C-alpha cells in the first residue's frame, strides 16, 4: 500500500471516529430537543424572572440584576403583614370550595334526575338546561350585577358562590356517566329498598370518583382564577378575592413596587399550578368528558 | 351519611360567612361606619386615628373601611344607597360633588353642627380652615362636607438634570418648560424624555382654570345646574395643542394609561429618572422628595406651569372630602361628627400633611408646622398651599360642578390620548369630546335632576 | 306610526300559518291544525319584543334604521316561537322521541315526581342567575339607566342604532375580532409544533411536558402582572435589554400599534399550556401503524403530517378553537386590566368585553352597556354556530 492510501484511510477513520463521538454527544432528534428546550425556556422565563424580582427591592429591580436581591424580608412583610394577602387567599379558597362543592352536588342531583327518572316534559326541562350552554355569564354581567345588588348580596360570599353553582356542563357530565352504568345496579338498589338519594350516595358516587375529581379540578382552577366578577361585585376589601386583591400591592404607598407585587403573583399562582401539575390527568378527562355535549 | 353531614357543615359554613360583618356589632357602643377610598399607608394612618378616637370616646366605635379607589367608593355608595346600607361617613372625590348633592343622601356639616362651638368636649372651629378650602366646599352658602385630603397639582423637578442644563429654578410656564427641555434633551446624559404628567382629567381642568376658562356652563355649574361643557374654548384648545407639540418634539413622555391608573406610571418614570420633570398632585410630595433622596437626586417642587399667553389666575383644589350621611340616628350622627372634628383637628391635620403632602387644611396646623420648623426643612411641602392661597377665586378656579363628572373625565383623557397619538386635528378632537361630554350631561340630568 | 301594530300582527299570523301549515303537511299531519297553531304562534312571536317596546320603533319620527331594527325584532320574535314549534310538532307527528339520546328504560325510579326536587337547585339557579339576567339585559338595553339615579328613561332602540354610527365602537368590534383570531391561531399553531416535538420519543419527554403545560394554571390576571413587570416601557427588563443590545425601545404598553401585541403575547403565553396538553393527548390517539404505513409509502414527514396526522387531530383542533375563542373573548379581560388598565392608548387594547365593563361599571351607563353586551352575545353565538357548521363538514371523528 502506498503512503497516500494509508493517509486516506487514516483520515477516513478519524472522520468516522469524530462522527460516532458526535452521535454519542448529540442526542437523537436533536431538533426536537432544541425546540422543546427553547419552548420550556421561553415559557419558564417570565415566572422565573418574577420569582427573582420578588426577592428584590425596587432599586435592585431597576438595576436589572438577575440574582436574588435583598428585599425578600421586606417584601414578605409588606405582602403578608401589612397588606394581608393571605386574607384574600382565604376568600378565594372559600369561593373556590363553595363553587366546586355545590356545583358538583347539584350536577350529581340533576344527573340522577335525568337518568333514573321518567317524567312528563323531560325533554323540555332538558332543553331548558341545554340552552344555558349558549349564555356566557360574561355577557349578562351588567344585569347580574344589578340583580345581585337588588338581592342585597353585594359584599357577601353568596354573591361569589351562588350564581356559579348550577352548570349545564356538570349535569351532562354526570348524565353521560350514569347512563353508562348498567341498569341492573339501580334495579338491585330499588329491590333493597334504597331511595334515590341513598342510591346516589351509596352506589353512584363511589363509582364516580374519577368523574367527580375531573369536574372538581377544572372548577377549582376556574374559580380560583376568576377576576371580573369578584372585581365588580366585591367593593369591601375584606371580602375581596386574590386575583383582584393582589392589585392592592400596586398601591403599596407610592411608586409601584415590583418586588411585593411579584411575591404576591407567585403566591397567587402556586395553588392552581400545583393542582394542575399534580392532577393533570383528572383535569384533562374533566375537559374531554364534557366536550362531547 | 358522612357525606351528607359534610354537606350540611359546608352549607352552614357558607351561610355563616355570608352574614355581612356589619350586622355583628358591639351592644353598648354606638357604631360609626366610615368608608374611605384608600387602602395603602393612608388607610393605616386613618385606622390609627380611629383607634385613638375609640379609646378617647368609649361610647363610640368608629370602624374604617378602605376602598380600592375614589371611583370604586363612588360606585359603592350608589349601590348602598339603593339598599339603605349607607355608612355614617363617606369620602367623596371632588368630581363626585354634584352627584352627591343630587342624590340627597347627605347632610351639610353646617346643618348638623347647627352653630355649636363644641361637640363632646372637642372644640369646633370651621373658620380655622384655610381660605381656598372654605371657598371650595361651601355650596349654597353652607359648609357642606368636611375637608380632609386636599391637594393641588404641582410639578416636581429632578435638579440633577436641571442644574446640568444650567437651570437653577424649575420652569414656571409652558414656554419655560419648552426652553428648559431643549437644553435638558441636549445634555450628553439626557433623560429619555424631558417631562411627563398623568393623563388624568384633573390636570386638564387645572390648566383650564389657570387660564380663567370655564369647564362647564352656568359659571362652572355654580350659578345654575350645568347643561353643557365649556371646555371646547380657545383655552381648552391651547392645552391640547401645547401637549401635542411637546409630545411631537419628544419632550413629553406619555405612559398610555388614563385616569386613576395613570398615577403609578408617572411615579415610575420619575423614580427611574427617565424624565427630568413630572407634573403631579401635591398629595405625594413626601414620596417624591423621598424618591429623589433614595435615588441620589434632589427633588424641587414648584407651581403648576401655566400658559404664558393667558397668564395665571389660580389653581383648583383637588382631593376628597368626608360627607355626612343624612337621616342617621342622632347618636350615630353625633359620633360621626365628633370623629370628623377629631380627625381634622390641628395636630392630626399637621400629621396628615407630613405623612402625605396633602396641604395642612387648618391655619392653626400651618402655624404649628411653622413653629416646628417643618416648612423650613421641607420647602417642597409649602408649594401647594402657597399656590392655592395665591390663587384668585373666580368661577373658573372654584372648579366645576357637573353630573356624571367621572365619565366626562374619561372623555377628556381619551381626547388627550387621541391628540397625542394621532395626527388628528386637536380642534376637531376637542369638539368631538365636547359633544360626547354634552350627551353624558344631558343623560345625567334627564335621569337625576330633581 | 309608520306601520300599524294590527297590520304587523296580522302579517305575522299569516306567515306563521304558512310556515307551520307546510311543516304539518310535509310531516303528514293535519294542515289546518298546523295553520291555526302557526297563526297563533306567529302573532305571539311578533309581540314577543314589540309588546314590551310598545312598537316604539315604528313611531312616525323614527329613522329608517329604527324601522329596520323593529322589523328584525318582529322576525326574530317570530323565529323564536316558530322554530321550536315546528321542530317539536314535526317530531310529535312523526312520533319521534324528543330527546335524541337513547335512554335507559329499565331501572328508573317509580315516583317520577321525585325528579323535581332533585332538579330544583339547578333549575332555580339557572332561572335566577342566567335566565332572569338575560331578560333583564334585554330590558336594560332599551333604557337609559344609572345606578343610584332617580329614574330610568326608555330610549327604544337608540342604544343600538347609536352603535351603527359609532366609528369608535366599530373599531372595537374589529379589534376584538383580530386580536382574538391572532391569539387563537398563534397559540394553537405554536402548541401544535411543540406538542409534536414533545410527542416524539425523545429523552425526558415527560419532564418536558410538565415544564410546558403549567402556564395554563396561571390566572389571566397574574399573566398581566408578570408581563407588566417585563414589558412596561419605563423600566421594564425587555426595553432595557433591547435598548442595550439593539438600541431599540418599543412602547410595549403606550404605543397603540404595539400594545395589542403585548396583550396577545401574554395571552398566548398563558394559553399555550392548555393547547399543548390537548394536542399531545390528541396525538396519542393517532394510531402508530397509520403513520408507519405512510412512511413505507415514502411520504415525506410534512406530507405524512398533513395527510394523516392533521385530519386525525381535527376533533382536538375544533374543540381547542372553541375553547380558545371563549378565552380570547372573555378571559383576556383580566390580562388587559392589569397590563393596560383603562383599555390602552387609543383604546388599542379595548375589547368588546372590556368596553362593556368600562361603560357599565366605570361610567355607570348601564343601558348602553347592556346593548353592547347583546351585540357581543350575538357575535359569539354567530361565530360558534359558524364554527359548528363548518366543523360538521371538516371534522373527521375517529377511524
- A237-251, B414-428, C338-352 — which is least confidently predicted? A237-251
| Strands B252-253, B89-93: pairing kind | unpaired
Residue C31 has pLDDT above 60, yes or no: yes
If you average pLDDT over residues C345-365, what whole number do you get? Answer: 93
Subunits in contact with chain C (3 or more CB pairs closer than 8 Å): A, B
- A92-101, A213-222, A231-240 — which is least confidently predicted? A231-240
Please tell me the pTM assigned to this model: 0.90
Residue A11 has pLDDT above 60, yes or no: yes
Sequential DSSP letters for B67-95: -S-HHHHHHHHHHHHHTT---SEEEEEGG
Which of B67, B264, B295 shows the shortest C-beta gap to A250? Answer: B264
pLDDT band at A150 (very low <50, low <70, confident <90, very high): confident
pLDDT digits (tens, 9 = 90+) for B55-96: 999 999 999 988 877 877 887 887 788 777 889 999 998 888
Mean pLDDT across chain C, nearest whole number? 89
Cell matching residue B396: 373658573
pLDDT digits (tens, 9 = 90+) for C237-251: 999 999 999 989 899
pLDDT band at B23 (very low <50, low <70, confident <90, very high): very low
What domains does chain B contain, in order, with CATH numbers? 32-151+318-377 (3.40.190.10), 153-315+401-448 (3.40.190.10)
- Do residue A126 and residue A244 come from a single domain? yes
Distances (CA, A) of C341 to B258, B414, C362: 8, 13, 12
- Confidence (pLDDT) at B15: 52
> Which ranges constitute the DSSP H helices of B193-256?
201-210, 217-221, 234-248
pLDDT band at A254 (very low <50, low <70, confident <90, very high): low
Q: What is the CATH number of the domain that holds A256?
A: 1.10.3720.10
Number of H helices, E strands in chain C: 18, 2
Please state the domain count of chain A: 2
- Do residue A141 and residue A256 come from a single domain? yes
Q: Domain C163-394, CATH 3.40.50.1000 — does that match?
A: no
Of chain B, the percentage scoring pLDDT greater than 70 comes to 94
Whether the CB-CB separation of B415 and B432 falls below 8 Å is answered with yes
Contact C107 A269 (CB under 8 A): no
Does the CB of B80 have a partner CB in chain C at under 8 Å? no
- Confidence (pLDDT) at C391: 72
Does the CB of C255 have a partner CB in chain B at under 8 Å? yes
**Tell me, what's the ipTM?**
0.89
- Confidence (pLDDT) at B25: 45
Residues of C in Cβ contact (< 8 Å) with B449: 150
Whether the CB-CB separation of A67 and A52 falls below 8 Å is answered with yes
Which of A47, A110, A167 shows the shortest C-beta gap to C226? Answer: A47
Whether the CB-CB separation of A47 and C218 falls below 8 Å is answered with yes
Which of A101, A201, A250 shows the shortest C-beta gap to B10? Answer: A101
Residue B20 has pLDDT above 50, yes or no: no
Report the range out of A30-44, B35-49, B59-73, B167-181 with the highest average pLDDT. B167-181
Does the CB of A139 have a partner CB in chain C at under 8 Å? yes
Q: Which among A35, A55, A78 is the end of a domain?
A: A78
Residues of B in Cβ contact (< 8 Å) with A98: 10, 14
Residue C392 has pLDDT above 80, yes or no: no
Q: How far apart are CA B270 and CA B195, in angstroms?
A: 9
pLDDT digits (tens, 9 = 90+) for B112-142: 999 899 999 999 988 899 887 887 788 888 8
- Do residue A136 and residue A224 come from a single domain? yes
pLDDT digits (tens, 9 = 90+) for C176-228: 999 999 999 999 999 999 998 888 877 888 888 889 989 999 999 999 999 99
- Do residue A69 and residue A99 come from a single domain? no
pLDDT digits (tens, 9 = 90+) for C277-328: 999 988 888 887 776 676 666 667 778 788 888 888 988 899 899 899 999 9
Residue B5 has pLDDT above 80, yes or no: no
- Do residue A283 and residue A225 come from a single domain? yes
pLDDT band at A16 (very low <50, low <70, confident <90, very high): low
Q: How far apart are CA B73 and CA C174, in angstroms?
A: 34
Distance from CA of A7 to the nearest CA of C (A): 39
Q: In which domain, by residue range, is A143 found?
A: 81-291
- Do residue A72 and residue A87 come from a single domain? no
Residue B24 has pLDDT above 60, yes or no: no
If you average pLDDT over residues B330-354, what whole number do you get? Answer: 94
- Do residue A67 and residue A150 come from a single domain? no
Interface residue ranges in chain A relative to chain B, Cβ cutoff 8 Å: 58-59, 62, 82, 94, 97-98, 101, 105, 149-150, 152, 154-158, 161, 201, 205, 235-238, 244, 247-248, 250-256
Torsion of CA B394, B396, B402, B406, to 10 degrees: -130
Whether the CB-CB separation of C280 and C197 falls below 8 Å is answered with no
For residue B76, count CB atoms less than 10 angstroms from its CB and return exposed for 0-12, middle for 13-18, buried for 19 or more: buried
Residue C60 has pLDDT above 90, yes or no: no
Which of C234, C342, C363 shows the shortest C-beta gap to B274? Answer: C234
pLDDT band at B21 (very low <50, low <70, confident <90, very high): very low
Which of B192, B253, B422 shows the shortest C-beta gap to C346? Answer: B422
If you average pLDDT over residues A76-96, what whole number do you get? Answer: 92
Q: How far apart are CA B29 and CA A242, in angstroms?
A: 33
Cα B433 to the center of its chain, rounded Å: 23
- Do residue A61 and residue A108 come from a single domain? no
Report the range out of B73-77, C63-67, C328-332 with the highest average pLDDT. C328-332
- Confidence (pLDDT) at A32: 85
- Do residue A171 and residue A38 come from a single domain? no
Does the CB of C315 have a partner CB in chain B at under 8 Å? no
Of chain A, the percentage scoring pLDDT greater than 70 comes to 87
Cell matching residue A257: 413596587
Whether the CB-CB separation of A159 and A234 falls below 8 Å is answered with yes
Interchain CB contacts (distance < 8 Å): B and C: 95
| Higher per-residue pLDDT: B294 or B307 | B307
- Give the SS3 label for residue B301: strand
Does the CB of B444 have a partner CB in chain C at under 8 Å? yes
Domain borders along chain C are 1-96, 163-394
- Confidence (pLDDT) at B295: 86
- Confidence (pLDDT) at A253: 53
Residue C393 has pLDDT above 80, yes or no: no
Residue B22 has pLDDT above 50, yes or no: no
Q: How far apart are CA B238 and CA B259, in angstroms?
A: 21
Does the CB of C152 have a partner CB in chain B at under 8 Å? yes
- Do residue A50 and residue A88 come from a single domain? no
> What is the 8-class DSSP label of residue B403?
T
**Residue numbers of A between 71 and 100 with CB closer than 8 Å to C:** none
pLDDT digits (tens, 9 = 90+) for B244-269: 999 999 999 998 888 877 888 888 88
Contact C234 B77 (CB under 8 A): no
pLDDT digits (tens, 9 = 90+) for A160-201: 999 999 988 899 889 888 988 888 888 888 888 888 999 999
- Do residue A183 and residue A279 come from a single domain? yes
| Higher per-residue pLDDT: B448 or B306 | B306
- Do residue A166 and residue A51 come from a single domain? no
Number of H helices, E strands in chain A: 17, 0
Distance from CA of A200 to the nearest CA of C (A): 11
> What is the 8-class DSSP label of residue B85?
-
pLDDT digits (tens, 9 = 90+) for C90-141: 888 887 766 554 455 567 888 888 899 999 999 999 999 999 999 999 999 9
Residue C264 has pLDDT above 90, yes or no: yes
Whether the CB-CB separation of B298 and B160 falls below 8 Å is answered with yes
Contact A227 C108 (CB under 8 A): no
If you average pLDDT over residues B129-158, what whole number do you get? Answer: 88
Amino acid at each position: 500500500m502506498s503512503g497516500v492510501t494509508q493517509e486516506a484511510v487514516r483520515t477516513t477513520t478519524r472522520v468516522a471516529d469524530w462522527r460516532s463521538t458526535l452521535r454519542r454527544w448529540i442526542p437523537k432528534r436533536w431538533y426536537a430537543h432544541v425546540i422543546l428546550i427553547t419552548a420550556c425556556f421561553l415559557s419558564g422565563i417570565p415566572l422565573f424572572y418574577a420569582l427573582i424580582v420578588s426577592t428584590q427591592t425596587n432599586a435592585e429591580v431597576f438595576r436589572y440584576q438577575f440574582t436574588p436581591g435583598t428585599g425578600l424580608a421586606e417584601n414578605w412583610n409588606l405582602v403578608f403583614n401589612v397588606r394581608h394577602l393571605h386574607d384574600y387567599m382565604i376568600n378565594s379558597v372559600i369561593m373556590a370550595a363553595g363553587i366546586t362543592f355545590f356545583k358538583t352536588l347539584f350536577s350529581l342531583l340533576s344527573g340522577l334526575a335525568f337518568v333514573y327518572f321518567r317524567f312528563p316534559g323531560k325533554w323540555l326541562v332538558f332543553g331548558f338546561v341545554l340552552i344555558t350552554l349558549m349564555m356566557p355569564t360574561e355577557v349578562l354581567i351588567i344585569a347580574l350585577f344589578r340583580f345581585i345588588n337588588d338581592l342585597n348580596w353585594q359584599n357577601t360570599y353568596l354573591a361569589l358562590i351562588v350564581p356559579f353553582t348550577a352548570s349545564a356542563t356538570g349535569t351532562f357530565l354526570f348524565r353521560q356517566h350514569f347512563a353508562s352504568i348498567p341498569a341492573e345496579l339501580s334495579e338491585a338498589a330499588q329491590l333493597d329498598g334504597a331511595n334515590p338519594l341513598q342510591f346516589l350516595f351509596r352506589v353512584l358516587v363511589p363509582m364516580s370518583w374519577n368523574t367527580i375529581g375531573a369536574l372538581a379540578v377544572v372548577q377549582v382552577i376556574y374559580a380560583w382564577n376568576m377576576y371580573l366578577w369578584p372585581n365588580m361585585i366585591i367593593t369591601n376589601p375584606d371580602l375581596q378575592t386574590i386575583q383582584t386583591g393582589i392589585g392592592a400591592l400596586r398601591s403599596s404607598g407610592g411608586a409601584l413596587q415590583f418586588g411585593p407585587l411579584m411575591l404576591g403573583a407567585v403566591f397567587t399562582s402556586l395553588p392552581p399550578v400545583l393542582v394542575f401539575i399534580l392532577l393533570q390527568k383528572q383535569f384533562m378527562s374533566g375537559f374531554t368528558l364534557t366536550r362531547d355535549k | 351519611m358522612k357525606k351528607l353531614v359534610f354537606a350540611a357543615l359546608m352549607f352552614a359554613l357558607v351561610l355563616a360567612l355570608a352574614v355581612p360583618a356589619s350586622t355583628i356589632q358591639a351592644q353598648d357602643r354606638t357604631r360609626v361606619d366610615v368608608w374611605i377610598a384608600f387602602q395603602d399607608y393612608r388607610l393605616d394612618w386613618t385606622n390609627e386615628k380611629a383607634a385613638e378616637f375609640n379609646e378617647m370616646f368609649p361610647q363610640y366605635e368608629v370602624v374604617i373601611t378602605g376602598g380600592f379607589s375614589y371611583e370604586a367608593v363612588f360606585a359603592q355608595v350608589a349601590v348602598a344607597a339603593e339598599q339603605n346600607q349607607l355608612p355614617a361617613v363617606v369620602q367623596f372625590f371632588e368630581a363626585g360633588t354634584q352627584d352627591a348633592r343630587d342624590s340627597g343622601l347627605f347632610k351639610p356639616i353646617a346643618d348638623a353642627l347647627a352653630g355649636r362651638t363644641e361637640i363632646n368636649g372637642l372644640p369646633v372651629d370651621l373658620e380655622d380652615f384655610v381660605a381656598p378650602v372654605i371657598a371650595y366646599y361651601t355650596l349654597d352658602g353652607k359648609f357642606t362636607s368636611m375637608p380632609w385630603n386636599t391637594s393641588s397639582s404641582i410639578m416636581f423637578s429632578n435638579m440633577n438634570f436641571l442644574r446640568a442644563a444650567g437651570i437653577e429654578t424649575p420652569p414656571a410656564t409652558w414656554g419655560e418648560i419648552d426652553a428648559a427641555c431643549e437644553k435638558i434633551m441636549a445634555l450628553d446624559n439626557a433623560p429619555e424624555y424631558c417631562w411627563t404628567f398623568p393623563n388624568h382629567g384633573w390636570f386638564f381642568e387645572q390648566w383650564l382654570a389657570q387660564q380663567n376658562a370655564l369647564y362647564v356652563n352656568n359659571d362652572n355649574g355654580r350659578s345654575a345646574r350645568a347643561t353643557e361643557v365649556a371646555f371646547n374654548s380657545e383655552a381648552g384648545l391651547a392645552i391640547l395643542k401645547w401637549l401635542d407639540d411637546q409630545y411631537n418634539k419628544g419632550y413629553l413622555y406619555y405612559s398610555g394609561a388614563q385616569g386613576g391608573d395613570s398615577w403609578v406610571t408617572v411615579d415610575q418614570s420619575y423614580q427611574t429618572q427617565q424624565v427630568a420633570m413630572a407634573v403631579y398632585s401635591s398629595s405625594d410630595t413626601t414620596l417624591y422628595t423621598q424618591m429623589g433622596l433614595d435615588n441620589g437626586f434632589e427633588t424641587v417642587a414648584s407651581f403648576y406651569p401655566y400658559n404664558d399667553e393667558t397668564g395665571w389666575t389660580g389653581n383648583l383644589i383637588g382631593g376628597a372630602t368626608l360627607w355626612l350621611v343624612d337621616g342617621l340616628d342622632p347618636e350615630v350622627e353625633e359620633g360621626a361628627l365628633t370623629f370628623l372634628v377629631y380627625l381634622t383637628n390641628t395636630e392630626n391635620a399637621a400629621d396628615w400633611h407630613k405623612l402625605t403632602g396633602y396641604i395642612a387644611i387648618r391655619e392653626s396646623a400651618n402655624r404649628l408646622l411653622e413653629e416646628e420648623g417643618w416648612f423650613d426643612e421641607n420647602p417642597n411641602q409649602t408649594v401647594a398651599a402657597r399656590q392655592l392661597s395665591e390663587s384668585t377665586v373666580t368661577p373658573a378656579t372654584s372648579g366645576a360642578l357637573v353630573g356624571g363628572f367621572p365619565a366626562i373625565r374619561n372623555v377628556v383623557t381619551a381626547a388627550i390620548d387621541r391628540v397625542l397619538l394621532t395626527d388628528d386635528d386637536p380642534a376637531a378632537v376637542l369638539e368631538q369630546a365636547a359633544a360626547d361630554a354634552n350627551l353624558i350631561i344631558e343623560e345625567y340630568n334627564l335621569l337625576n335632576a330633581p | 306610526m309608520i306601520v300599524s301594530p294590527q297590520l304587523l300582527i296580522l302579517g305575522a299570523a299569516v306567515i306563521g300559518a304558512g310556515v307551520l301549515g307546510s311543516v304539518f303537511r310535509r310531516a303528514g299531519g293535519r294542515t289546518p291544525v298546523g295553520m291555526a297553531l302557526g297563526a297563533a304562534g306567529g302573532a305571539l312571536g311578533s309581540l314577543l319584543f314589540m309588546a314590551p317596546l310598545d312598537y316604539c320603533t315604528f313611531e312616525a319620527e323614527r329613522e329608517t334604521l329604527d324601522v329596520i331594527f323593529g322589523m328584525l325584532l318582529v322576525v326574530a320574535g317570530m323565529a323564536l316561537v316558530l322554530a321550536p314549534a315546528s321542530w317539536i310538532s314535526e317530531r310529535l307527528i312523526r312520533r319521534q322521541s324528543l330527546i335524541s339520546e337513547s335512554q335507559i328504560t329499565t331501572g328508573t325510579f317509580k315516583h317520577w315526581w321525585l325528579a323535581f326536587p332533585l332538579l330544583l337547585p339547578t333549575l332555580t339557579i339557572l332561572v335566577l342567575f342566567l335566565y332572569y339576567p338575560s331578560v333583564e339585559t334585554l330590558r336594560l338595553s332599551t333604557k337609559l339607566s344609572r345606578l343610584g339615579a332617580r329614574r330610568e328613561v326608555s330610549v327604544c332602540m337608540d342604544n343600538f342604532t347609536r352603535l351603527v354610527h359609532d366609528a369608535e365602537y366599530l373599531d372595537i368590534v374589529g379589534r376584538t375580532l383580530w386580536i382574538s383570531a391572532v391569539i387563537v391561531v398563534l397559540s394553537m399553531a405554536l402548541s401544535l409544533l411543540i406538542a409534536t416535538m414533545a410527542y416524539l420519543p425523545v429523552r425526558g419527554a415527560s419532564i418536558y411536558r410538565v415544564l410546558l403545560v403549567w402556564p395554563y394554571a396561571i390566572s389571566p390576571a397574574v399573566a398581566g402582572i408578570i408581563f407588566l413587570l417585563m414589558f412596561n416601557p419605563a423600566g421594564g427588563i425587555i426595553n432595557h435589554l433591547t435598548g442595550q443590545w439593539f438600541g431599540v425601545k418599543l412602547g410595549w404598553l403606550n404605543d397603540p400599534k404595539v400594545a395589542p401585541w403585548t396583550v396577545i403575547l401574554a395571552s398566548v403565553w398563558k394559553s399555550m399550556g392548555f393547547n399543548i396538553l390537548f394536542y399531545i393527548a390528541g396525538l396519542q390517539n393517532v394510531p402508530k401503524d397509520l403513520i408507519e404505513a405512510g412512511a413505507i409509502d415514502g411520504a415525506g414527514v410534512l406530507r405524512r403530517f398533513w395527510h394523516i396526522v392533521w385530519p386525525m387531530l381535527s376533533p382536538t383542533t375544533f374543540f381547542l378553537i372553541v375553547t380558545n375563542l371563549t378565552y380570547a373573548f372573555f378571559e383576556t379581560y383580566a390580562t388587559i386590566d392589569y397590563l393596560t388598565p383603562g383599555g390602552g392608548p387609543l383604546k388599542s387594547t379595548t375589547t368588546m368585553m372590556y368596553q362593556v365593563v368600562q361603560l357599565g361599571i366605570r361610567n355607570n351607563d348601564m343601558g348602553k352597556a347592556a346593548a353592547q353586551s347583546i351585540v357581543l352575545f350575538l357575535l359569539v353565538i354567530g361565530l360558534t354556530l359558524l364554527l359548528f357548521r363548518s366543523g360538521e363538514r371538516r371534522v373527521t371523528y375517529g377511524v
